[in-house]
Amino acid sequence: MRCLLEGLDCANCAAKIEKELNKIPGLENAKVNFATKSIDLPEEMLTVAQEIITRIEPEVKLKKERGAGEKEEKENLLPLWVSGLLFVIGVIYHEQLHQTAYSLLEYAVLLTAYFLVGWPVITRAVRNLIRGEVFDENFLMTLATAGAIAIHQLPEAVGVMLFYAVGEYFQDKAVNNSRRSIKALLAIQPAYANLKENGTTRRVRPEEVAVGETIVVKPGERVPLDGEVIAGESFVDTSALTGESTPRKMEAGATILAGMVNGGGLLTVKVTKPYAESSVARILNLVEKSAERKAPTEQFITVFARYYTPIVVGAALLLAVLPPLLLPGASFKAWLARALVLLVISCPCALVISIPLGYFGGIGGASRHGILIKGANFLDALAASHTVVFDKTGTLTKGVFRVTEVVPRNGFSKEEVLAAAAGAEVYSNHPIAHSLREAYGRAIPVDSVRDYQEIPAHGISAVVEGRQVLAGNDRLMHREAIAHEDCEVQGTIVYVAIDREYAGYIVISDELKEDAKQTVQELKTLGVQKVYMLTGDDATVAARVADELQVDGFYAELLPEDKVTRLEELMAGLPNRKTQKLAFVGDGVNDAPVITRADIGVAMGGLGSDAAIEAADVVLMEDAPSKLVLAIKTARQTKRIVRQNIYLALGIKAFFILLGVFGVATIWEAVFADVGVTILAVFNASRTLRAGEKG
């Protein structure tokens, strides 16, 4: 059961919740998705899960339906504004308030401001302390500000807690913006379907429509389910699925997918898949789960924060105690103030918030362009692309074949050769088979074809109208010992033998995709060292395509298992397997084994393809090679921003820690080193939403 974690606004808290849930029998595989604030749980474990979550984060509640997050955000701003106003009054009139009896007004104004924004932090710190979780940001903030109050630095204490709250507010805003980029995909989720029954239509939920039933899609409506158009003609907007705004024409016989938006015509559609298996449902599920796969950098930061914070707290304790004991004339109050500075600076918020935010911002930004990346780990792998290997047919070429020449031999006519080949290919779904049947142009009675047999990587054997026909490549002729004089013909050739006598050959032409050559050039510009092409096609055809594209090498006439072998050889040849990765790009159907084996499997033109979405690590929904360039740019920019945040946070914190130890930095500088750096890192991480859009 899908549940929402209302109030979950911290990636670190999400990790804690997941860790504790996984300790419970029956919840070992529970995954908290911070990007969508969701978790899948067995219904019978909901109560147990809520008890565990309450112990860790009492503010987080399990909900089966969406809550009113916007209302909560507005309500939470009131204490922030009131506290800020009191803080300003306390700082401006500090001396006057301090001069009152027992400094009562000073305490009244500044402690009120302190507790307005600090109470949630203090209560969380106490609860965590009771559970033995000492070293978190709540404990650090509480300890540092309590120490400041103890040495009568009230404005500093309020300032730390107030700016910490402001920092958390901006973190939440940035997190919500990144979430919106992913949740924007939910807009493609259709709200209803117009079910056609007995000549009338009625609105129902898409989940209620069964396969085989008929729906009507009116102009301007979103297509609710995958199906086949049986009546009507219109143009549909596919941008929600592919990231491209070019309309696509729909007419009778065309396949239409859930999530598309109908243009100006009325379409009648026969449903071919239930909603749970529709394109839109699979895409939403894929994007939601992408945040569950952590990048190595995220995993490192989690471990780093676990050790970093206790070390700094220990150092602060030593700094407060040892110098007054060892140095003559050293003031305990002065060294305690330095220790408090160290405590404020030590909070790892900038890292534990901005790093996950950066990654799922990159994933969300890519999804807006029709690039579905299954996890942050694949973003890192894409960024490290050293070698890219392309399939040829349907990936670099259009895969739309047409017959350009029929050459008969041994007394056969062109019509006989073409009719025999088209008949033999009557059951095949291969693009070449479609081109042969289209060129023949006449209906082929299915009962005229028998003993049909596909010979992998060779061709077809069948009996057509009582005559045995062999139709395939040159290897098929040699395999069947058919004497023929046309072994060296250039191009994609279908050789035909009738009753074991060579009847001639048919020339088939394919075209390069418009952006194929540009893609290879841009990959080289990006720093991809090698670009290869693998194909089962004839070597002469492959050589011509490879030369036109200027790839670094190609392998032709490969069986499916040969492609895997060649890919493994290329992977073994990478200079550094740890830091350099190989990406394979295929059509996602025939190339599933190779896509699965590569470091990064990329399925191109995966719109509506089950095999693409299942096998690939990255799915390019638009059938364009250039999308790979955008995917790599997005991955590299995301990784660059994540690294910037790591260097920014650690560098500034280290600098101010040194200043604090030597007494140069005060708590105000410490606030900047913590909250200021966190806000800068969060805003920087938010740039990943636009990753890949520029250079």
**Catalytically annotated residues:** 391
- Quick one: tokens of 642? 């994540």
Tell me which residue has tokens 């990936």.
Answer: 395
The string over 617-653, giving b where at least 16 C-beta atoms fall within 10 Å of a residue's C-beta and e elsewhere, is: bbbbbbbbbbbbbbbbbbbbbbbebbebbbebbbebb
Longest dimension (CA), the chain: 120
Place of tokens 């040829």: 392
The partner residues of 61 in beta bridges, in order of sequence, read 6
201 in Cβ contact with 227 (< 8 Å): no
- SS3 state of residue 193: strand
- One-letter amino acid of 156: E
| One-letter amino acid for residue 303 of the chain | V
Among 172, 302, 298, which residue's Cα sits nearest to residue 643? 298
Packing angle of the helix pair 626-661, 677-686 (nearest 10 deg): 180
> Over the Cα atoms of the chain, what is R_g?
33
Burial of 160 (0-12, 13-18, 19+ CB in 10 A): buried
SS3 state at 391? strand
Kindly state the DSSP code that residue 327 receives in the 8-state scheme: S
Q: How many CB atoms lie within 10 A of CB 493?
A: 21
d(CA 59, CA 5): 10
Contacts of 628 (CB under 8 A, 6+ apart): 388, 519, 523, 583, 585, 602, 604, 620
Backbone angles phi, psi at 690, to 5 degrees: -110, 15
| Torsion angle (degrees, nearest 10) of CA 237, 255, 585, 288 | 60
DSSP 241-265: HHS----EEE-TT-EE-TT-EE-SS
**Cα angle, residue 617 at apex, residues 614 and 620 outer, rounded to 5°:** 90
Direct distance between the N- and C-terminal alpha carbons of the chain, in angstroms, rounded to an integer:
42
Tokens found for residue 76: 């939470």
For the record, the structure tokens of 346 come out as: 């030590």
Return all residues near 535 (Cβ < 8 A) that are at least 6 apart. Answer: 391, 392, 393, 541, 542, 545, 554, 555, 556, 557, 558
Which of 58, 13, 68 lies closest to 39 in space, CA to CA?
Answer: 13
List strand residue ranges (DSSP E) for 61-113, in order: 61-63
Residue 236 phi, psi dihedral angles, 5° rounding: -120, 150
Q: Do residues 606 and 626 lie in contact, with contact meaning Cβ atoms separated by under 8 Å?
A: no
For residue 50 the two structure tokens come to 């809520």
